[in-house]
Copies of this chain bind each other. A is one copy, B any other.
């Protein structure tokens, strides 16, 4: 990963880049002439920290600094992200300033959503180091980044970019042919035009259009795009059938796409009023958080299905996963997270099943720590939980930061005895979980001793933890009433 990235421009996109970089452990130096840039950056970072906590992505600390000029920001930078306004003259001027100061090998990545890299690099001394890397709002959550080379961009720079954005948990999409607005924004532009016409002609309000999207094809598009979805619409006969069936309608006089609606004061006023009626009950900040909560939930849902953006998330999590800090004289810190809103139940607090979800995740972290990880499972061995006893001591509320500390009460041959304590930020124990696990052979699904390395690691922990005081309430049973 890069040591330090220079950001030129800290608006909605630049702020999103800063958040993604900083929370992935990459230090950032920002230059933005706008007086509110720092406050805005702070707001975006707050949203992003909240989102990563809910997403369960481990945040790596990094430093943020502010420069008073482009020159100051890019001195010593190896990677420079330009998110200035969409004006080619402004951008070219910035590139000239960068080239005056920055190391010759520094890569310059423009966040432009429309301008061609060949045009951007036209006046550069070292055009081979410029590319377009176009992200999507919110940059700290959406994985897509379109990577586009200009005529003079060096292939090695593109390779570096693909690796750089992957390491940030993103999905770099290599756009192979340079056109204005690349791929996604071409599609968005088409919908935007049609949407404006529908509002202009009083066919639909902004709310109607949004509902037509989010209750219908928007749900499809979070996981399969246009073509894969239509492949299915063709049924068993597939794509060819679909094209033959629906192709002719392209020539029907349905659309007004051949023209653009006049975006005059009347239409702007209409859209603003309809949008206020639709979304005005939420502040922008509140709406951002609802959007983030929904994106997080959707990404997690797709992760569980190992599909699309969920696969990208799983790879990112794995990459960010930290080793447990094992000082042997304390219970291990096996989990640390913020309670997401969707963990609430009818009673408005964290549902009972989520306690076991936390303890299950904590057990998994411990398993990895002693070497009973994915590779070990692939080799045919694992631990199964046989018995569990949970005590609920206090309520756990939404948005609370919780941790789990895990003590190994005993390890002997194929048996493992664990005790988890779920605590709040102040160290109060909210719940405990006592667990009895058995080591199994995954072929026979029967109990067997662990392989030597895992057995040694489990024994070592059990010996170290033997010096700890016995936790309260072990060996409890529920009494009849």
Contacts and interface: CB of A to CB of B under 8 A. Distances in A.
Contact of A300 (B171, B189, B301, B434): B301
B215 A186 contact: no
Contacts of A181: 254
A271 interface: yes
A33 interface: no
A244 B268 contact: yes
A295 B223 contact: yes
Interface string A40-54: 100000000000000
Given A240-B272, A352-B360, A257 B258 contact: yes
A255 B374 CA distance: 48
Contacts of A328: none
Contact of A183 (B202, B209, B225): B209
Contacts of A312: 215
24 contacts: A11-B235, A142-B220, A186-B194, A187-B209, A206-B227, A210-B225, A218-B220, A218-B222, A218-B225, A227-B271, A231-B287, A238-B275, A247-B263, A257-B257, A294-B305, A294-B307, A347-B382, A352-B385, A353-B356, A356-B356, A387-B389, A389-B390, A415-B481, A475-B478
Interface stretch (A1-9, A21-29, A102-110, A338-346): A338-346
A105 B217 CA distance: 33
A315 to B, nearest CB: 13
A266 interface: no
Contacts of A409: 480-481
Interface in A194-252: 194-196, 198, 201-204, 206-229, 231-233, 235-236, 238-240, 243-244, 247, 249-252
A79 interface: no
Given A290-B307, A353-B356, A481-B412, A250 B255 contact: no
A326 interface: no
A384 interface: yes
A320 interface: no
Nearest to A445: B395
A364 interface: yes
Contacts of A189: 194, 249-250, 254-255
A461 interface: no
Report the 4 A-B pairs with minimum CB-CB distance, sorted nearest first: A210-B225, A304-B342, A218-B221, A144-B216
A212 B146 contact: yes
A476 B477 contact: yes
A42 to B, nearest CB: 13
Interface stretch (A55-63, A69-77, A172-180): A172-180
Contacts of A357: 353
A435 B298 CA distance: 32
A216 B184 contact: yes
A136 B216 contact: yes
Contacts of A78: none
Q: How many copies does the complex hold?
A: 2
A274 B227 CA distance: 10
Report, as a range, how many residues of chain A touch the other chain.
35 or more
Contacts of A228: 206, 210, 275, 278-279, 287
A451 interface: no
B224 A221 contact: no
A456 interface: no
Given A196-B250, A347-B382, A387-B390, 18 more contacts: A11-B235, A142-B220, A171-B211, A176-B204, A186-B194, A189-B194, A214-B308, A218-B225, A220-B291, A228-B278, A231-B287, A250-B263, A255-B257, A346-B367, A346-B374, A346-B377, A417-B478, A474-B478
A12 interface: yes
A142 B217 CA distance: 8
A293 interface: yes
A436 interface: yes
A227 B239 contact: no
A146 B228 CA distance: 23
Contacts of A307: 290, 293-294
Nearest to A144: B216
A386 interface: yes
Contacts of A293: 305, 307
Contacts of A386: 391-392
B294 A227 contact: no
A154 to B, nearest CB: 22
